[in-house]
Structure 1
């Protein structure tokens, strides 16, 4: 398990993402909107949505290691399948201590497969 999950979803509507998360995780608190960010807690998991965090890509951050998905790729695969849109994630855990060498290495999940890409956000 990873300490948290962050994926980037292309051109998705938060209402659809929220409905998918409720079906996958469970219900929770009311959604609070602050500018481009929407936050809630679903089944005890803090969820943060940032619209257009990187161009047409929206950030979805699940701030817990207690999600139904083992890692970012598993979540990205499930999100892409459920929402029918491309989803991007890092190929494994990354933090600033790892340096810049692999910071642009991402996976893009679409049409049921994950492919490595270089993404400079």
Structure 2
């Protein structure tokens, strides 16, 4: 089932919002100029509103695509594409998380890196 939006986390080492814009421009359509509000950057790629939050969780940057109209069915598909395009470690939730699932499942993430793909426990709070 297609997720209503997509959020992935990219390791801070080698990626910034300009590299993200180039990738999203190729995948979704041309990006508007980034508008910075505080620590948050926003643009639109094609018809998709995009939010980039550097260092959202420690050294991890959040990329939020506020639409179900992307080429990716879910966070994992987007994370795989981001890793392939940017060659940077990516983490995402394995599916849509809802509060009823409890705190334990909130710490279950998928990690995609040069080592492959694996399920990890990542405490983000």
TM-score with structure 1 length normalisation?
0.94
SS in 2 for 1:59: strand
**1:83 aligned to 70, 81, 86, which one?**
86
SS in 2 for 1:101: helix
Which residue of 1 is the match for residue 48 of structure 2? Answer: 45
Which residue of 2 is the match for residue 98 of structure 1? Answer: 101
Question: 1:16-63 CA distances to partner (integer Å, 9 max, x unpaired)?
Answer: 111101011101432110121100111111100000001110000000
TM-score with structure 2 length normalisation?
0.92
RMSD: 1.2
Question: In structure 2, what is the Cα distance between the partners aligned to 1:36 and 1:58?
Answer: 11
SS in 2 for 1:18: helix
Which residue of 2 is the match for residue 107 of structure 1? Answer: 110
Instruction: Give unmatched runs, 5+ long, in structure 2.
Output: none
Whichever structure has more helix as a proportion of its residues is 2
Instruction: Give unmatched runs, 5+ long, in structure 1.
Output: none
